[in-house]
């Protein structure tokens, strides 16, 4: 069987690659060795978003009476688990149907690269393709000190695959995005969370100190605090639960433990070395700015090739790879403009450079800030925590980055992203006709602050200061 494009992996990057290539008229094949839709659909972004919606509703219950809503809201984790499965099954059915309608050939089976631009798919034999896209994603990292144990020590992948273990007290292990999100979600869904971390939550992220402070305050308001300097050094499992021995000798006990200690690229046993695809020291596929690997005609996208490990990056890289296949050496957008979002006690979102990165790159930094405390939309929605911040070059007016915290920022950060790649991004943001009242209006307010505070009226409004 001969194809123009063959893709290994059906997560958001693989799926998007298949769709874009098919829409461009290519003959496309996609192979999946696990569950169609990959981690994001089955065990990550999609089911987590369903749980997050429930968590946000439960988090607001103390304010409901003042807003004219009376009654009791009680969490039901088992029902929440069943609901996310309903969502996942619905999305997967639509996903598979769309690939079929586009004429994409789908092969269920583990795939490996073999010589001569071919894939060998278990149960199907070889598939030849002029271009191959590796989109194999990642797998949870399990620290050697915390071996998995059915029903007692599990990963986030396993949490969404099977109903949650019995017991109300859970130890959440990890200070990254997954740990920060799941500590909040599980606490709101009725569990007693013991959050064990080595460092402060998201301390390795690119979010600003004010954003992280607001996150900590928001978590603390719900009684959720990370127990830092508490990386487990050993784990004991018994019939009564889990005992985690911490680095200092203290112990933490729980009914079960959720390991959220990051992920690792899934690049082993793919035959990459045999066809000349190089990996870095940590197992990520080496790619250039257009997602091309060191082997001709082979691309890699998503978690297996990008340390950011977000679905947003996988989708952006799928676009870049599909475009390069159709028109080699096409220009690629700025990777830094891919949004990053955290869904926890408050949402955090960012793209581009933060202030420190902009200064390190040699820019004279200007910032435009708008707080949500006076936002009509935020006040009407009952949560005026948060802000919008734009980062620009004070001399040229170039938009360098943006950050937001508060309700639904994962949605309205995209207003900035839609304009940020253009040289006149600030003027475009100011020219948008915003709905009122809306949270996205704070982007306009931040841009106007830049104009007023930093003398950027010409860049924002097309007017020169005399």
N- to C-terminal Cα distance for the chain?
68
Confidence at residue 1, expressed as pLDDT on a 0 to 100 scale: 82
- Which H or E run includes 299? strand 298-300
Measured between alpha carbons, how far is residue 162 from residues 11, 151, 210 in Å? 20, 10, 37
Q: Which two tokens stand for residue 378?
A: 């935020």
| Interval 45-61 mean pLDDT | 96
Round to whole Å and give the CA distance between 289 and 267.
Answer: 20
Q: Give yes or no: residues 251 and 283 share one domain.
A: no
Round to whole Å and give the CA distance between 358 and 109.
Answer: 45
pLDDT digits (tens, 9 = 90+) for 290-312: 999 999 999 999 999 999 999 99
Domain contains 147? no
pLDDT band at 116 (very low <50, low <70, confident <90, very high): confident
Is the distance from CB of 217 to CB of 224 less than 8 angstroms? no
Q: Give yes or no: residues 207 and 304 share one domain.
A: no
Is the distance from CB of 241 to CB of 254 less than 8 angstroms? yes
Q: Give yes or no: residues 282 and 136 share one domain.
A: yes
Confidence at residue 331, expressed as pLDDT on a 0 to 100 scale: 56
Give the Cβ contact number of residue 200 at 10 Å.
14
Angle at 56 between CA 173 and CA 197, to 5 degrees: 15
Please give the residue that has the higher pLDDT: either 328 or 345.
Answer: 345
Tell me which of 149, 222, 313, 436 is the catalytic residue. Answer: 436
**What are phi and psi for residue 62, nearest 5 degrees?**
-70, -20
Domain contains 60? yes
Bridge partners of residue 404, in order along the sequence: 349, 388
Confidence at residue 466, expressed as pLDDT on a 0 to 100 scale: 44
Q: Give yes or no: residues 275 and 360 share one domain.
A: no
Q: 80: cis peptide before it, omega within 30°? A: no
Q: Give yes or no: residues 380 and 456 share one domain.
A: yes
Confidence at residue 35, expressed as pLDDT on a 0 to 100 scale: 95
Confidence at residue 332, expressed as pLDDT on a 0 to 100 scale: 56
Q: Give yes or no: residues 253 and 276 share one domain.
A: no
Round to whole Å and give the CA distance between 241 and 259.
Answer: 15
Whether 222 is a known active-site residue: answer no
Task: Give the torsion through C-alpha atoms of 308, 310, 316, 320, to 10 deg.
Answer: 60
- For residue 20, what is the domain's CATH number? 3.50.50.60
pLDDT digits (tens, 9 = 90+) for 157-181: 999 999 999 999 999 999 999 999 9
Q: Give yes or no: residues 133 and 273 share one domain.
A: yes
Domain contains 466? no
Q: Give yes or no: residues 207 and 129 share one domain.
A: no
pLDDT band at 463 (very low <50, low <70, confident <90, very high): low
Domain count, the chain: 3
Please give the residue that has the higher pLDDT: either 206 or 336.
Answer: 206
Q: Are strands 118-121 and 125-134 parallel, antiparallel or unpaired?
A: antiparallel
Percent share of the chain, pLDDT over 70: 97
Show the domain range for 181.
Answer: 153-261
Residues 6+ apart with CB under 8 A from 9: 30, 31, 32, 38, 134, 135, 136, 137, 302, 304
Confidence at residue 34, expressed as pLDDT on a 0 to 100 scale: 94
Confidence at residue 454, expressed as pLDDT on a 0 to 100 scale: 95
pLDDT digits (tens, 9 = 90+) for 30-49: 999 999 999 999 999 999 99
């Amino acid at each position: 069987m001969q194809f123009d494009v063959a893709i290994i992996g059906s997560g958001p990057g693989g799926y998007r690659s298949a769709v874009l290539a098919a829409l461009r008229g290519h003959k496309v094949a996609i192979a999946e060795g696990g569950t169609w839709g990959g981690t994001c659909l089955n065990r990550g972004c999609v089911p987590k978003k369903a749980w997050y919606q429930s968590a946000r509703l439960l988090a607001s219950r103390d304010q409901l009476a003042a807003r004219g809503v009376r009654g009791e809201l009680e969490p039901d984790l088992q029902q929440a688990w069943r609901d996310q499965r309903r969502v996942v099954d619905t999305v997967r059915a639509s996903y598979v149907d769309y690939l079929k309608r586009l004429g994409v050939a789908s092969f269920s089976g583990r795939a490996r690269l073999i010589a001569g631009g071919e894939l060998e798919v278990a149960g199907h034999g070889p598939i030849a393709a002029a271009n191959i896209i590796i989109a194999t994603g990642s797998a949870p990292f399990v620290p050697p000190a915390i071996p998995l144990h059915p029903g007692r020590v599990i990963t986030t992948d396993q949490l969404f695959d099977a109903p949650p273990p019995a017991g109300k007290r859970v130890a959440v292990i990890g200070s990254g995005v997954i740990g920060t999100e799941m500590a909040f979600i599980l606490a709101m869904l009725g569990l007693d969370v013991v959050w064990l971390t080595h460092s402060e939550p998201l301390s390795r992220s690119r979010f600003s100190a004010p954003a992280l402070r607001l996150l900590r305050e928001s978590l603390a308001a719900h009684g959720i605090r990370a127990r830092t300097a508490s990386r487990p050094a050993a784990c004991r499992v018994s019939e009564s639960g889990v005992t985690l021995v911490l680095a200092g000798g203290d112990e933490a006990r729980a009914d079960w433990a959720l390991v959220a200690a990051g992920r690792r690229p899934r690049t082993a046993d793919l035959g990459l070395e045999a066809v000349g695809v190089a990996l870095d020291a940590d197992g990520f596929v080496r790619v250039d700015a257009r997602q091309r690997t060191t082997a001709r005609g082979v691309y890699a996208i998503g978690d297996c090739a990008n340390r950011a490990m977000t679905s947003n990056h996988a989708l952006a890289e799928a676009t870049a790879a599909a475009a390069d296949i159709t028109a080699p050496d096409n220009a690629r957008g700025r990777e830094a403009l891919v949004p990053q979002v955290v869904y926890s006690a408050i949402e955090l979102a960012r793209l581009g450079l933060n202030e420190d990165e902009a200064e390190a790159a040699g820019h004279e930094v200007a910032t435009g800030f708008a707080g949500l405390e006076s936002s009509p939309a935020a006040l009407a929605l009952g949560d005026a925590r948060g802000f919008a911040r734009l980062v620009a070059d004070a001399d040229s007016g170039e938009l360098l980055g943006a950050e937001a915290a508060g309700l639904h920022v994962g949605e309205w950060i995209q207003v900035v992203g839609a304009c940020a790649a253009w040289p006149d991004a600030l003027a475009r943001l100011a020219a948008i006709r915003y709905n009122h009242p809306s949270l996205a209006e704070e982007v306009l307010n931040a841009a106007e602050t830049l104009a007023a505070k930093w003398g950027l009226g010409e860049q924002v409004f097309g007017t020169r200061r005399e």
